Amino acid sequence: MDFRYLGNSGLKISEITYGNWLTHGSQVENDAATACVRAALDQGISTFDTADVYANTKAETVLGEALKGERREGLEIFTKVYWPTGPGGKNDTGLSRKHIMESIDGSLRRLQTDYVDLYQAHRYDTETPLEETMQAFADVVRQGKALYIGVSEWTADQIRAGHALAQDLGISLISSQPQYSMLWRVIEGEVVPACEELGIGQIVWSPMAQGVLSGKYKPGEAPPEGSRATDDKGGADMIKRWMDDDVLTRVQKLAPIADEAGLTMAQLAIAWVLQNDNVSAALVGASRPEQVVSNVEAAGVRLEQSALDAIDEALGDAVVRDPAQTAENAPKTRVA
């Protein structure tokens, strides 16, 4: 495993980071989830990312159980706050002071830890003053419940405003967690340049485009049984953007590029996002331990420029680059 600094901070994290969105507490049984976490640890992954909303808090509980007994100082545990949790009451969502202060305590209890290394705003809250949100995060840090602050799917302007307030409050906003893959490159135009300027690193999710870049989905064929495209608990909705025969045909053209690099298509996809100097880590999930073992093979890989050019040629106009997509895919009002 290779390790990178998270932004300009002094915190080092594993460049392959284990995330348990859409798996723990929902898609896979707890024993299988624990086996995946153990496999991640065995492969040198030290960084684990979750969120209170995943499986409505169950994912944090599963991760806390799986990591119990590990040396806490040797781990980096990340979680997030914003989306509705619990029974979905009027204050069970957003980035109000009330929701943040209550949510961090719930997350720590479920994760069985005294602090998280990174506490992230899971989306931007259009209905709460940013000053209120950042003050609450500052208090969480000063109480020792989180070491650093991050955001997820914020626009470049929102990141700049949040970073400025964090500096004023004396806390470190060090990370952005956006979707990023060969097919989804919307952060490259605005978010990445802003973050490079501010010293913020990217922890990117869905580097395999919900599994499409693994090559398992073939044009003109039904999705494999048990795959994300057949999951009615959320996976199928997330992947449907890419379940288009033209996109799938282009993705199949990546197979010889992966072969030439000595990688699987999934490993090629993970290695590709790690070529971006502003990316601190690629988030990967798994439903089976062997998937973790395979994904880790992408750590430390440097792709030749000829391979990067061939990828661009293969995918062509299937790639989404419009920076406006970050704002367009964000909640316009607080989700209840």
CB 20 within 8 A of CB 51: no
Residues of the chain with pLDDT > 70: what percent?
93
Place of tokens 């809250």: 125
Looking at residue 242, the DSSP 8-state letter turns out to be G
CB 111 within 8 A of CB 79: yes
pLDDT at 182: 97
Of the pLDDT bands very low, low, confident and very high (cuts 50, 70, 90), residue 217 is confident
Q: Is 129 helix (H, G, I), strand (E, B) or coil?
A: coil
Look at 58 and 178; give whichever has higher pLDDT: 178
- Which residues have CB under 8 Å from 24's CB, separation 6+? 30, 33, 50, 54, 55, 58, 59, 62, 63
- Which residues have CB under 8 Å from 34's CB, separation 6+? 62, 65, 66
Residues involved in catalysis:
54
User: Is residue 194 pLDDT above 90, yes or no?
Assistant: yes
The pLDDT tens digits of the residues spanning 64-106 come to: 999 999 999 999 999 999 999 988 889 999 999 999 999 999 9
CB 302 within 8 A of CB 275: yes
Looking at residue 219, the DSSP 8-state letter turns out to be T
The pLDDT tens digits of the residues spanning 114-143 come to: 999 999 999 999 999 999 999 999 999 999
- 3-328 under CATH 3.20.20.100, yes or no: yes
Q: Which residues are 148's β-sheet partners?
A: 118
**Lowest pLDDT segment from 196-205, 220-229, 276-285, 293-302:** 220-229
